[in-house]
Structure 1
């Protein structure tokens, strides 16, 4: 079985980084390493990570610092370059991995020698109806989040690359100095451009925050334009469906619902990240019990 590194770019993530790390070590298979790559945080992100490492000395966590340049892409690249695993998992600092995520990712690349990139569905852990949202996201990613007649596009909050594939595209991925592209779509298109296989697994589940939906309409629109900008930068690639249309439909409702639901969680003293992990762990244990019967 191949081993899996987890890379977590982080900038001012004091609110969720501890929860994220907790989920990375509460796995059915321990990751080879967990690299938190700080990018000039001005809050207590680094202190929280250092305290977490002191409290869990057995966990393979390292805190790295990318201070040369502000931005997700140079920070992501720094972490991917520093990783030593066979497979490089890339998530965000507010992500909550399903308890078998590392095991599933290792299995994908072990069982399919041609797989060079992998991704899976996500669910909003800080919104209601999480199971329905997960099924909806799975449907979108299966049928419309594709390029070049059905090739899988990777999603940055829940993706993994074979280390050898990263080495092949490392010097080709766009630097995007003007910050107008989707870096995960860019990585996907560079993989496809080299004829490298990307795969999708509904078992590779990750929880993400819906906080993007609470940004201003202008900010949200500019974020959605990144899809078009990325494909315009890669005219040799195309897509038959524009998945951002689904997000535009969801945005008005989630924009209103998000702050209301956060107040409800606060009143009930619920940590949504912890709750989601507990629910997924319970589901896994239930499946194990059925298999043992």
Structure 2
């Protein structure tokens, strides 16, 4: 099996990074290493990681400082460049990978034709998580069937790619200095441009935070419309590719209301509402 490195970009994540690291070290198959790439955080992110390292020796947790350019792209790149595994797994500092995540990544890459893979997600801070996971699986399968390989996507909160594939496209990926694109889709497009296969791993499950719903409507629209800007930056224009933008815009308000209500309920003396798990 290919050795898996885990890369976790982080910026001011002191509140959540410990939980993510606990999930990363609690795998059925251990990762070769776990790299937290700290993009010049002004909070206690680095201190939390160092404390975790001391409490969990032998798990390959590494803290990498990225104090140069700010943003997800240079931070991601630093982590990918530092990784020593044959496969580089990636999720966010607020993500909770399933206990068998590394095992499932290894299973995906047992197929030598796979250059990158992405899996389904659920929102760990919303109710009805099993239902949300089932819905996410259905949506992703539909999207994968609807578009050809060159338009396929990676999801930065739940993805992996071969180190050899990263080296091949390293100098081609968009730097995105103004933070206008979806960097994970940019990765997918460069991989597909090289004729490299992107696979979907239905058992490669990660829990992610719904905190994006706390964005103002204006900020959320800007975030979601990155889909179109990313494809346009590659000269790709297709009505089919507008589907993710339309979908996320349509669920923003109801999902935001659910998140707000759930947070109030979960903080009440009675605890979480029925059906929250």
TM-score normalised to structure 2 length: 0.93
Unaligned runs of 5+ in 2: none
Aligned to 1:240: 240
Post-superposition shift, 1:266? 2.7
Q: Does 1:59 align with 2:72?
A: no
Structure 2: how far apart are the matches of 1:259 and 1:252? 11
Aligned to 2:142: 143
**Match in the other structure for 1:266:** 267
Q: Which residue of 1 aligns with 2:132?
A: 133
Asked if 2 retains the 8 angstrom alpha-carbon contact of 1:121 and 1:205, the reply is yes
Q: Quick check: 1:214–1:254 contact (8 Å CA) kept in 2? A: no
Per the alignment, in what secondary structure is the counterpart of residue 144 of structure 1?
helix
Displacement after TM superposition at 1:94 (Å):
0.3
Moved over 4 A (4+): 145-148, 236-239, 268-271
Between the aligned partners of 2:41 and 2:270, the Cα distance in structure 1 is 27
1:21 is paired with a residue whose SS is helix
The offset of 1:146, in angstroms, is 7.2
Indicate conservation of the 8 Å contact 1:10/1:39, yes or no.
yes
Q: Match of 1:40?
A: 40
Partner of 1:119: 118
Q: Deviations over 1:199-239 (max 9, x none)?
A: 00110000000011121100000001100100000115757
Query: Equivalent residue of 1:267, what SS?
Result: coil
SS in 1 for 2:62: strand
Q: Deviation digits for residues 104-149 of structure 1, max 9, x if unmatched?
A: 1011112x10100000000000000111111111111111267852
Contact (CA 8 Å) 1:224, 1:244: kept in 2 or not? yes
1:193 matched to 2:182? The reply is no
Give runs of aligned pairs for residues 137-216 of structure 1, distance below 5 A.
137-144=136-143, 149-150=148-149, 152-216=152-216
Helix, strand or coil for the counterpart of 2:166? Answer: helix
Number of residue pairs matched?
272
The aligned counterpart of 1:88 is: 88
2:149 and 2:192 in contact (8 A); partners too: no
Instruction: State the SS of the aligned residue for 1:28.
Output: coil
TM-score by length of 1: 0.88
